[in-house]
Structure 1
């Protein structure tokens, strides 16, 4: 008779066998380590799911071995979780699972010690995606005098780039004449997307570029460093919020991405056009990002109702069997999640 723990171990190992990700053999050792320490069966599933998603991010960055993992991979994983609009408490739990695994791998001499040095702490929980209020955006921009910081904030606000994407951007990726930035998902595949630069973002960038160190290959960097870390960018943003008197609003760097999406949607951009700019594979994720204001929603209602009242809707409604089958399937699947 097998115990629940033994059954959970076997299920976890069977699940792991189907993976095609970096360091699978080390993950198996870690799972057995959890079993020896009498972890609860539910812990196996939650830990494996978090580790799996983390290693997907690592693999997509072009890395094939755990030895190649850096702190930037953890930062990229956090952004990946934020992109899915998870509650911060959930992100913290999943990050804890990843850090526990990396700690085990570090003790085994697989992962470099500096990966977990000065761990990233997630603060100010927020259950829903939140864009900055337009007046708060104006207030924030009015207090940023440092050319580098202003350019960084403006580019994030006008392109919707993830902070990790911006910090990885090199001068070769910036095309001033075409007013665009090329973003690559992987240094090896060179596959990614293009974002565009507005007039105010271009203006801020030109001021920064005129005074930056031309020997540095990265667009943004910290003093005495080749590039800028996530922690440094976070501290810059917090300092700007403090100067603007906005610390009580609970804004994060990621709020700039939400602001970009919401402002474009409310300015009339179709969500299908917004999706590729955001780099989302799913339109549902873009919908969660971009929030219509009450005024735009009201205007859209009366615009549509005017067409209805004039009797200008052409054609007849038909029962769509394919759509009905799809909805029924989706409802059935949701019962098992």
Structure 2
């Protein structure tokens, strides 16, 4: 998973480590929604909504790159994921730049090669991610695009979210999978261990 300082650098627009704004936005969405990469690349313009409560994404599909087609999400569940005003405005800007902005069926992150009928490929997005990490000097071998999802779950756990809440937010079928995602040793956990030792010492 990523550290707080790494995330700040990754999403610092002054660093400008991604190939363009679309790649940067994909990475930001992965972290700030906890969605899977196939779910983000499957987003069509119609899946981005503005409501009285703000902006949201309808997560109902996953892009299957082996079949080159939209399919169900990994858990075959649909969900609505709220996003912040700032992130919503970035999506609006991204869509406004699209030559297919008037087609609700068009992919938000369309492929320049295939147009509105296909999204960017996982391989291209992953390659840009790896280049960006190298630019930042973040070279741990186990970091992938999926690490954003692990980081999302771990940080929410540190913020006090329960296992059942994390299961709901990450759309996992079982609590065991939540443990797998959120079971990373973070600085907050280390601080809790120290605090626990001090508390036990006081109580003894």
Fold-level match, TM-score > 0.5? yes
Q: 1:281 to 1:135 in 2, by over 3 A?
A: same
> Match of 1:184?
60
Find the aligned partners of 1:219 and 1:300 in 2 and give their Cα distance. 44
Over 3 Å counting, the alpha-carbon distance change for 1:162 and 1:279 in structure 2 is same
Structure 1 runs (4+) deviating above 6 angstroms are: none
Question: Match for residue 261 of structure 1?
Answer: 153
Unaligned runs of 5+ in 1: 1-130, 311-337
The C-alpha deviation readout for 1:34-83, integer Å capped at 9, x for no partner, is xxxxxxxxxxxxxxxxxxxxxxxxxxxxxxxxxxxxxxxxxxxxxxxxxx
Which of 113, 137, 147 does residue 224 from structure 1 map onto? 113
Native 8 Å contact 1:193 1:276 kept in 2: no
Alignment length (residue pairs): 176
Partner of 1:235: 127
2:79 alignment partner, SS class:
strand
More helix by share: 1
Say if 1:222 and 1:144 are closer, same or farther in 2 by CA, change over 3 A: farther
* Aligned residue in 2 for 1:138: 8
1:200, CA displacement in angstroms?
Answer: 4.4
Partner of 1:196: 82
Return 5+ residue gaps in structure 2 as ranges.
62-70
Aligned CA RMSD, in angstroms, stands at 2.8
Q: Distance in 2 between matches of 1:270 and 1:203?
A: 30
Greater C-alpha radius of gyration: 1
Cα deviation, residue 240, structure 1? 1.8
The residue correspondences of 1:60-75 to structure 2 (distance < 5 A) are: none
For CA contacts below 8 A with separation 6 or more, give which structure has more relative contact order: 2
CA distance in 2 between counterparts of 1:293 and 1:244 reads 21
CA distance in 1, matches of 2:36, 2:188: 28
Q: Match for 1:249 among 129, 136, 140?
A: 140
Change (3 A) 1:269 1:245: same
Distance in 1, matches of 2:94 and 2:2, equals 24
SS for the counterpart of 2:80 is strand
